[in-house]
A and B are shown apart, each in its own frame.
Chain A
Amino acid sequence: AQSVTQPDIHITVSEGASLELRCNYSYGATPYLFWYVQSPGQGLQLLLKYFSGDTLVQGIKGFEAEFKRSQSSFNLRKPSVHWSDAAEYFCAVGGPLYGNKLVFGAGTILRVKS
């Protein structure tokens, strides 16, 4: 079965500092991996996605993520965080075994201190 673990419920970083949000997945085949961001009371916005090919993927707002099959991980990174990045971040896994069904992690709430 699909599953996603985001081990950090809350993370606080200083503005301008680098950021890494962790994501580990379980999937019975080659996964499709996604990172979404959600502001309070809003829907989900896709930051980036991995389907195949280059394991380092670039997304919007300066985010990137690296797919590491050996570690079953897809960590999200940003070199310099801005105050506007404060939000909740969700990692999700999908793939050909389950069609369009996405399984989400529990989310990581990012706080940015000035």
Chain B
Amino acid sequence: KAGVTQTPRYLIKTRGQQVTLSCSPISGHRSVSWYQQTPGQGLQFLFEYFSETQRNKGNFPGRFSGRQFSNSRSEMNVSTLELGDSALYLCASSWDERGGGNTEAFFGQGTRLTVV
């Protein structure tokens, strides 16, 4: 069974631009969560999508958005990029249908975004 696939693996963008990251979950998983990892703030939850609906949201500004498609693939978008958005963005998928949190989250290898 294929794991969680994130594309691209590396990205360099300029301040003020926008970026879209993609995540394909494990087949059969309908919950997709996104995390930002930085040396200063660590791993922080961005949002979770289930069945094309945002089910949970972290404390990030509105420049960070996401969506999920009918095949459970998810994208996240960051608009008006700032230097502080440089991070490893991780996607995780799980089988959790009811959002109870008691299932394992499988993580992708991440997208390394550098903003210059």
A contact set with B: CB distance below 8 Å? 32, 34, 36, 41-46, 49, 51, 90, 92, 94-96, 98-107
Contact = CB atoms under 8 A, between A and B. Distances in A.
Nearest to A42: B109
Interface string B92-113: 1010100111111111111010
A17 to B, nearest CB: 27
B100 A99 contact: yes
A95 B55 CA distance: 15
A32 B55 CA distance: 19
B101 A100 contact: yes
A101 B101 CA distance: 7
Interface of B: 4, 31, 33, 35, 42-45, 48, 55-56, 58, 90, 92, 94, 96, 99-110, 112
Contacts, number: 73
Contacts of A46: 104-106
B43 A90 contact: yes
Contacts of B55: 99-100
Contacts of B94: 100
B101 A96 contact: yes
A101 B42 contact: no
